[in-house]
Structure 1
């Protein structure tokens, strides 16, 4: 990297910290810190939702899969998310918003204590928080590997640099800082992605490279599903991503909660859906063309995008693309840190320390900032001590994707009226059964048991969790409750005249 590249990266970090400092003035209480007080414009909510959904993992693990296998990574990843978020616009987006506006909910898990019971809420809170801290550690490693590839910076320095900057603006500005930096990062990412796309098009002599490269690549690169990514894997991941990106990934539920109304949240979801379907194509085409530009990297495909960028981009542009990588990771991590802080502050600590509920507004806000700081610090510690080789893809697929279903199913289906009779017995059985299934399969996979393929480790925990939830909740032990039905009914429409009093 040249001096101009470092100036661009340094300027990016400065702007992110400045936004966090400015946002601090908009945060007066924990409602502002966790849900922006319900005042976030729908378009900003939608862009923030989109930006918070992916990170530099795309340019490391997913770029490696695009290099090795071609088209399939868009089909099983971006397409499943885009369609899933579009479906969720009609099923979940408005419901999340009404939890805030009608019930005073500030954490996505807060409603579970009433919808099921406190043990259900606590099981999901602790298991989900543990999952997230490892997931974010993978994001730090991914962006540090990119910085190492572009500039030769040691991985630990990359983790520390991005972690500290993210920590500063997240702790200061809460969800407002997250959303505003998401928008700035959206602009930077857009410029970086277009610069790379144009550079690749120029290399091949025009925009027609989008359809001519496939004749020069292996025939399997144009297959929608290939390698270990089978139809079963695709179907399982589609259900997982539909649940995950509509609120199963808790930080994305916050974006809907922050909008002014349920209808505005729905528009946010539709905008995010459109971005998911279109924008990854701009990012993926250079990855698909990479084997023709930097051949022979199958053994180290995680560095393919880095090598292509160094070979093709002029001074200053490398820094812009690298800033785009940072923007992905920092957007996701800051939003995750904010929502984990909400879950710890609103759902976990009150069960361990009754005094939390007696804290004043200023003390609650201080506690929220402390938990945000602690979460980011812990995730950085895990990243700094991890074996980086293969760590990113292993965490993203074998851990996060495989366990997200059991954690998300009771949370997400509990918002829908068709499952109003499902109670805590089914919810706890679903989560625990799905996670135990994953644990057994993971041990078998580490011992090289042949039948435990990528499709199996992703689909079986999801299937077990879903079957337990439906069979126990609807057939074996339904637990209908007037209070639960009233809660679910209150989330259906903005036009409902009878308002449920908000609780403190």
Structure 2
């Protein structure tokens, strides 16, 4: 049977989207007073509570691709995508056990600061400029991808969506920095978690529960396609699924790569904002728990779409119709107000990565590249409120640059350029993350070891990515490329460490300082002073209460009649969080 998957009340969807964007602008306005210097602005001065950071970690671990590309893969390949997303659960548990508390105890402001503390100034500058190049490309590509999907649902031009979403992110990040990023991510999670949970339960109810879903899979002849672990032959028969994905080798490589990246100094940024090592561990555990919830609920709707409305999904006006499976099943099962919330949740998934990426770029320029240039030219860097003002201006420039790059990608089209940008980022990320992870655990590492391992990994990754195309050979599969980079980078790292010269005095001093900080617990009262716990809880509680009211107002719309129970799910969730935060704020203030 053919279903018309279109928005029935487009004006209500526009209203929901506008309300969401206004709430993010409100976050920037409210949190602008939380920053008094550049350390406040770029890492919340190590004062953020674990639940705020944990929610932000969860939101920045995925993007709208989860609900488009990954949802399309779940539509075709079923349970395999759930297994794939379990990597975030495992990686965050590993970080909670080891690296999370260590990251906070480094007592630095940016990731590049942590790299300098471990490997010296030269490595800091190498990382800074490499991260700037990759970060601008990645953020521009993210904004472009989000605009493509959003414009398809809302019917706007891609360039207009890029400008509107980019300006909103620009506003609240430039105004309030890390505090606004953390708060906006948490507010976005208050929308995304209950909405995705509700849609998953509605899909299961329509199928008759899990037993009914398994029966429907069997009846549709999809048992082999939906199997968690697949053979290369099965994967080859699935349209739109890359060769080699969802095999045992793929999962081993995916979990390994995710754990390496989450445990490297590349990922330490969020943990620098929490109060101490104990709160860093709790933040990682919260992120792991939310990742487990997301793994279970994000991909049930596209799988249900394959069982309930496959003809309608295949008729969607997208280059790859399966990528519209999540939005399609939402249009099929939900009233317009909740469709708007689903769209908002999908936007939040990318905006949460985009805001952190832009602020991270501004932090590297302001805290690492700028002081190095001042030293080079014999100038004294500005400090205090002057550095804070500079950080805001740089953040503004970074956001404008990302918007411009996304507009360039939109002008050139969504074909080869977009894929090339993502390939370049993929080639860069794994080789850089590996030595920056090993350096957190391994001692007696000479200065040249990490750059040598990075260069070796980059050469291996670039060769695996591009040589087959140039020579006419078969492209390497994902897990073959990851294994090659990890083996080559690890061999270079440990061989150079083993057979290189002994540590000189300066390198030994740098290493001793790194591990001394890593292992020394933070005394918050002595090192930071008075916290603002109750203030954080009260402000976020107010935003949660406003969201609760907004969800209930949507239930009053004519198109929402007979759907009150569905609107109560996100309303009760946000209201419950608000009550809990107000109660904890009262306790914290009394202390």
**TM-score (normalizing by structure 2):** 0.77
Is the partner of 1:363 in helix, strand or coil? helix
- Please tell me whether residue 379 in structure 1 is matched to residue 379 in structure 2: no
Alignment partners' CA distance in 2, 1:395 and 1:63: 22
Is the partner of 2:473 in helix, strand or coil? coil
| 379-388 vs 14-23, which moves further | 379-388
Query: Relative to structure 1, is the Cα distance of residues 451 and 283 closer, same or farther in structure 2, using a 3 angstrom cutoff?
Result: closer
Query: Relative to structure 1, is the Cα distance of residues 51 and 154 closer, same or farther in structure 2, using a 3 angstrom cutoff?
Result: same
Is the partner of 1:490 in helix, strand or coil? helix
Which of 220, 224, 245 is 1:219 aligned to? Answer: 224
Deviation at 1:295, TM superposition (A): 2.0
2:257 maps to: 240
Deviation at 1:332, TM superposition (A): 0.9
Show CA shifts across 1:322-352 (max 9, x none): 1101111111111111222212222222223
Query: Relative to structure 1, is the Cα distance of residues 242 and 248 closer, same or farther in structure 2, using a 3 angstrom cutoff?
Result: farther
Which of 286, 296, 300 is 2:321 aligned to? Answer: 300
Is the partner of 1:353 in helix, strand or coil? helix
Query: For the Cα contact (< 8 Å) 1:128–1:407, is it kept in 2?
Result: no
Query: For the Cα contact (< 8 Å) 1:34–1:254, is it kept in 2?
Result: no
2:97 maps to: 90
Alignment partners' CA distance in 1, 2:156 and 2:308: 24
Query: Relative to structure 1, is the Cα distance of residues 474 and 90 closer, same or farther in structure 2, using a 3 angstrom cutoff?
Result: farther
Alignment partners' CA distance in 2, 1:9 and 1:189: 13
Which of 487, 491, 495 is 1:471 aligned to? Answer: 495
Is the partner of 1:424 in helix, strand or coil? coil
1:437 maps to: 460
Deviation at 1:7, TM superposition (A): 0.9
Alignment partners' CA distance in 1, 2:458 and 2:34: 39
Correspondence 1:84-483 to 2 at 5 A: 84-100=91-107, 105-206=108-209, 208-215=211-218, 216=220, 217-225=222-230, 227=235, 228-229=244-245, 230-250=247-267, 253-295=268-310, 297=314, 299-354=320-375, 357-386=380-409, 387-389=413-415, 398-416=423-441, 419-447=442-470, 449-477=473-501, 479=503, 481-483=508-510
Alignment partners' CA distance in 2, 1:262 and 1:356: 36
Query: Relative to structure 1, is the Cα distance of residues 449 and 303 closer, same or farther in structure 2, using a 3 angstrom cutoff?
Result: farther
Query: Relative to structure 1, is the Cα distance of residues 261 and 163 closer, same or farther in structure 2, using a 3 angstrom cutoff?
Result: same
Query: For the Cα contact (< 8 Å) 2:374–2:381, is it kept in 1?
Result: no
Is the partner of 2:407 in helix, strand or coil? helix
Give the unaligned 5+ runs of structure 2.
1-6, 236-243, 529-591
Show CA shifts across 1:147-166 (max 9, x none): 12322222222222211111
**TM-score (normalizing by structure 1):** 0.90
How many equivalent residue pairs?
489
Show CA shifts across 1:10-35 (max 9, x none): 10000000011110011111111111
Query: For the Cα contact (< 8 Å) 1:199–1:313, is it kept in 2?
Result: no
Deviation at 1:440, TM superposition (A): 2.3
Is the partner of 1:333 in helix, strand or coil? helix
Is the partner of 1:222 in helix, strand or coil? coil
1:54 maps to: 62
Is the partner of 1:109 in helix, strand or coil? helix
Alignment partners' CA distance in 2, 1:391 and 1:57: 17
Give the unaligned 5+ runs of structure 1.
none
Query: For the Cα contact (< 8 Å) 1:43–1:271, is it kept in 2?
Result: yes
Show CA shifts across 1:163-219 (max 9, x none): 111111011111111111111101100232123223323432445445444323241
Query: Relative to structure 1, is the Cα distance of residues 11 and 299 closer, same or farther in structure 2, using a 3 angstrom cutoff?
Result: closer
Query: For the Cα contact (< 8 Å) 1:434–1:461, is it kept in 2?
Result: yes
Alignment partners' CA distance in 2, 1:123 and 1:153: 41
- Please tell me whether residue 63 in structure 1 is matched to residue 71 in structure 2: yes
- Please tell me whether residue 490 in structure 1 is matched to residue 517 in structure 2: yes
Query: For the Cα contact (< 8 Å) 1:262–1:494, is it kept in 2?
Result: yes
Is the partner of 2:310 in helix, strand or coil? coil
Show CA shifts across 1:362-385 (max 9, x none): 221122122222222223223222
Query: Relative to structure 1, is the Cα distance of residues 225 and 332 closer, same or farther in structure 2, using a 3 angstrom cutoff?
Result: farther
Query: For the Cα contact (< 8 Å) 2:75–2:306, is it kept in 1?
Result: yes
| 115-124 vs 15-24, which moves further | 115-124
Is the partner of 1:377 in helix, strand or coil? helix
Query: For the Cα contact (< 8 Å) 1:406–1:431, is it kept in 2?
Result: yes
Query: Relative to structure 1, is the Cα distance of residues 304 and 356 closer, same or farther in structure 2, using a 3 angstrom cutoff?
Result: farther
Deviation at 1:107, TM superposition (A): 0.8
